[in-house]
Amino acid sequence: MKLAPLVRGTGTPVTFLHGFTQTKESWLPVVDSLHISIEATLLDCPGHGESASQGRTLQQTANDVAECMPSGILVGYSMGARIALHTALQSPDIVQGLVLISGTPGLRTESERSDRRAADESLAQHIEEVGVNEFIPEWLSNPMFQGLSADLADVPRRCTNTASGLADSLRCAGTGTQEPLWEQLPSLTMPVLIITGGTDEKFTALARQMTPLISQAEHHIMKDVGHTCHLEDVHQFVDVFEDWFLRL
C-alpha cells in the first residue's frame, strides 16, 4: 500500500514515522530544526493523515514503509518505533540505520497481549462512538503526554484523522497485535539509537533491556522530558540525533 509522503531537503535519506493519532507533519518541528543535510521523507502511517487504513498489520505496514522509503536511516516514535523495528527486521538491506524513540519490541506473554487487545478494542469502539474531536483531547490528557505543550500537541491536525482510521489502526497494529520481537533483536546489525525521556520510566526500562541485545545499539536518556521526548525538547533531541548521525 502506498503511504502518503512529504519530502523535504536534500542529502542523506532519513525517513520518519509518527505516533498514534499524529500525522507526518508532526515531524516538521524536528526536521526544520536540524543542522545536517538530509532528505527527510515523512510518512503517514495507515489509518492516519492521507494514508488509508485498509486493515494493515504491523508486518504489512513494515512492507509498505520499505517500499516507500529510500535506503537510509529510519526514525520512529512510539507506534512509529514499533513499525520501524518491524521494517528493520524485515528489510535490513533498506534500513541502514535505525532510531527508536519510546518504542517497545512487544509484550512478552500471550496473557499480556490478550489483555492489551481487549483494551485496544474497547478504545477503538470508544473512538467510533465519540469521534475524533472528543477523543483527541481525552487521549492527550493521558499522563504520558503531560510534558507536551499545546502548540506541539497540535490538536487541530490530529483531529483531521478519522475515527474509523484510528480505530482500525488500534485493531490491526496495536501493541496487543504485535508478536514479541525480543528474540529477533540480536539479528539487527545496523547502527541503532534508542531514545527515551528521563521521566518515562516504563520505556526507559524497556530500552535498558533492549540495548544489550543489539550489537550496535546505544541508548540515550533525554533529560527532563517524558514519552514525547522529541517534541517536548526539540533542540535536545536534535543534539542527540545529530551527534549519533555524524558518527555513522
Rounded percentage of the chain residues whose pLDDT exceeds 70: 100
Task: Tell me the average pLDDT of the chain.
Answer: 98
- 202-230 pLDDT per residue, tens: 999 999 999 999 999 999 999 999 999 99
Categorize the per-residue pLDDT at 54 as very low, low, confident or very high, splitting at 50, 70 and 90. Answer: confident
The reported pLDDT for the residue numbered 1 is: 87
Instruction: Give the angle 94-10-191 at the CA atoms, nearest 5°.
Output: 35
Categorize the per-residue pLDDT at 187 as very low, low, confident or very high, splitting at 50, 70 and 90. Answer: very high
- Mean pLDDT along residues 66-93: 99
Check whether 99 has a pLDDT greater than 90.
yes
DSSP letters spanning 105-166: S--SSHHHHHHHHHHHHHHHHHHHHH-HHHHHHHHHTSGGGTTS-HHHHTHHHHTTS-HHHH
Check whether 53 has a pLDDT greater than 90.
no
Q: Which of the pair, 2 or 85, is modelled with greater confidence?
A: 85
Check whether 59 has a pLDDT greater than 90.
yes
Which candidate, 184, 242, 196, 248, places its Cα nearest to that of 223? 196
Q: Dihedral of the CA atoms 98, 100, 106, 112 (nearest 10)?
A: 180
- Mean pLDDT along residues 28-34: 98
Domain count of the fold of the chain: 1
Domain of residue 19 covers: 5-246
- Mean pLDDT along residues 137-156: 95
Q: Dihedral of the CA atoms 192, 196, 201, 205 (nearest 10)?
A: 10
- Mean pLDDT along residues 129-146: 97
- Mean pLDDT along residues 125-132: 99
- 166-185 pLDDT per residue, tens: 999 999 999 999 999 999 99
- Mean pLDDT along residues 151-168: 97
- The domain that holds 120 is classified in CATH as 3.40.50.1820
- Mean pLDDT along residues 52-76: 96
